[in-house]
């Protein structure tokens, strides 16, 4: 039986899945003699905040503040990518507070996530784990784009203009909107990502590489830098990988001479890591959570605020608020009654109309099993009305 099917048949609720995640992290720590932090972002929920951003740095730094000075930290990561500057801040925080930092990958760690992983003293990957081409995510107007794809498009139009002495009207309009400063900024973003990889591979991944494997020759600092540059160039070569979203597996990394520890070679550790990945997937599919931060001591979640929040003028003199919350998974409409004063006839009337009381834990459990976090709605109601919801 597969791990996913096993958990599904156990019919665990969100709280039970959260406890299972903490248990697995604790078990991993015992077997590996380390301190594991899990940072996972849903790659299926199309949410702008799912990108790696500065708030992730603050959350991780705060969560690990009590563990500073530790000998070893393992960092389990799944992310679609995001800010290179945030990746740099997280990595510098980890290495300045822990003697040895390793990265664990069983899902996708793309773009800025790949840059972070390449800062590890050791990289542990399952057969399902994947990195991605090195790139920087930049904002062009209000849209986020790949710096490499943007530069490739500009260079293509430049070559076409030089060859034909013309561009079609659409291309001419697009190119005319690009300022020299913007173009220079995009180029710098690409070099920034590559520079970080070269620096971190040389300093951390190759720290204990002192002898060549075949000829047993001493490895110099210059040799480490050259190897790091070769790897960075390969990972930045989008012509090789064809797509910014391409999955780069263990075998691909070994081809470009980057040594990776295959987790599947250790069945006990592999089972725990795959279970961590599975539990996180189940939490994403059964709740509104889209980011998970967890250690064996604490767990934090970011939830997507549901659309259709009640529109209220503040302050208003009301004793109750009605919410119609649609389950994003099955479409069931839930009629929720928020009390703003102690029991009254109004409360009983709402119950007769099919309303349910606002849940005490801010979590609405739909009959389909999906759990909806209502804390964002509660915060807006209380802020606009100036009263606390009575739970």
User: Distance between CA 64 and CA 56 in Å, rounded?
Assistant: 12
The structure tokens 């990289």 sit at 123
Backbone angles phi, psi at 123, to 5 degrees: -115, 120
* Two structure tokens written together for 305: 């605020």
Query: Residue ranges per domain, the chain?
Result: 3-132+247-303, 320-385
pLDDT for position 244: 54
Low-confidence ranges of the chain (pLDDT < 70): 135-147, 167, 170-187, 238-239, 241-245, 305-318, 343-347, 384-385
| Nearest C-alpha neighbor of 183 from the set 153, 221, 225 | 153
In CATH, the number for domain 3-132+247-303 is 3.90.226
Strand 122-125 and strand 98-105: pairing? Answer: parallel
**φ, ψ of residue 385 in degrees (nearest 5):** -90, -30
Cα torsion angle, 231, 232, 238, 244, sign:
positive
Cα 284 to Cα 70, 85, 156, 278, 372, distances in angstroms: 31, 26, 40, 10, 11
Say how far apart CA 91 and CA 86 lie, in whole Å: 9
SS3 303: strand
Q: Model pTM? A: 0.79
pLDDT of the residue at 47: 77
Q: For residues 389 and 320, give the distance between their C-alpha atoms in angstroms, rounded to a whole number.
A: 8
Q: Residues near 362 by Cβ (< 8 Å), separated by ≥ 6?
A: 373, 374, 375, 378
Whole-angstrom distance, CA of residue 70 vs CA of residue 34: 9
Among candidate residues 88, 145, 138, the one with its CA nearest the CA of residue 118: 88
pLDDT of the residue at 316: 45
Enumerate helices (H) and strands (E) in the chain, giving the number of each.
Answer: 14, 16
357-366 own/partner pairs: CB under 8 Å, 24+ apart = 357/391, 358/323, 358/389, 358/391, 359/391, 360/391, 363/14, 363/287, 364/325, 364/334, 364/336, 365/13, 365/14, 366/327, 366/329, 366/330, 366/332, 366/334
């Amino acid at each position: 039986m597969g791990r996913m099917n096993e958990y599904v048949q156990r019919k665990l609720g969100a709280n039970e899945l959260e406890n299972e995640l903490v248990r697995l992290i604790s078990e991993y720590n015992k077997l590996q003699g380390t301190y594991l932090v899990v940072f996972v972002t849903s790659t299926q929920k199309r949410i702008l905040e799912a990108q790696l951003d500065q708030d992730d740095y603050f959350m991780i730094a705060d969560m690990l503040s009590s563990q500073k000075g530790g000998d070893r930290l393992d960092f389990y990561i799944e992310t679609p990518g995001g800010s290179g500057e945030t990746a740099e801040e997280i990595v510098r925080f980890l290495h300045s507070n822990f003697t040895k930092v390793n990265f664990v990958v069983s899902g996708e760690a793309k773009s800025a996530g790949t840059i972070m992983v390449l800062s590890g003293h050791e990289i542990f990957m399952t057969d399902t784990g994947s990195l991605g081409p090195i790139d920087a995510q930049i904002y062009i107007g209000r849209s986020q784009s790949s710096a490499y794809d943007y530069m490739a498009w500009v260079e293509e139009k430049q070559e076409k203009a030089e060859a034909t002495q013309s561009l079609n009207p659409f291309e001419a309009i697009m190119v005319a909107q690009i300022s020299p400063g913007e173009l220079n900024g995009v180029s710098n973003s690409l070099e920034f990502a590559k520079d970080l990889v070269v620096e971190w591979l040389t300093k951390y991944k190759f720290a204990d590489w002192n002898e060549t494997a075949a000829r047993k020759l001493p490895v110099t600092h210059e040799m480490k830098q050259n190897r790091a540059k070769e790897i960075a160039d390969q990972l930045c070569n989008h012509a090789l990988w064809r797509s910014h979203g391409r999955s780069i597996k263990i075998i691909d990394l070994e081809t470009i001479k980057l040594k990776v520890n295959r987790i599947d070679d250790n069945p006990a550790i592999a089972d725990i890591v795959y279970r961590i990945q599975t539990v996180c997937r189940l939490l994403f599919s059964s709740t509104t959570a889209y980011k998970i931060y967890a250690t064996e001591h604490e767990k934090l979640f970011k939830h997507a605020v549901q659309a259709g929040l009640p529109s209220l003028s503040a302050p208003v003199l009301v004793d109750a608020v009605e919410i119609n919350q649609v389950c994003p998974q099955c479409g069931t409409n839930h009629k929720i009654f928020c009390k703003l004063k102690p029991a009254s006839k109004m409360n009983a009337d709402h119950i007769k109309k099919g309303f349910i009381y606002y849940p005490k834990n801010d979590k609405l459990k739909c009959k389909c099993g999906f759990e909806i976090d209502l804390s964002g709605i509660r915060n807006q109601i209380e802020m606009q009305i100036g009263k606390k919801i009575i739970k």
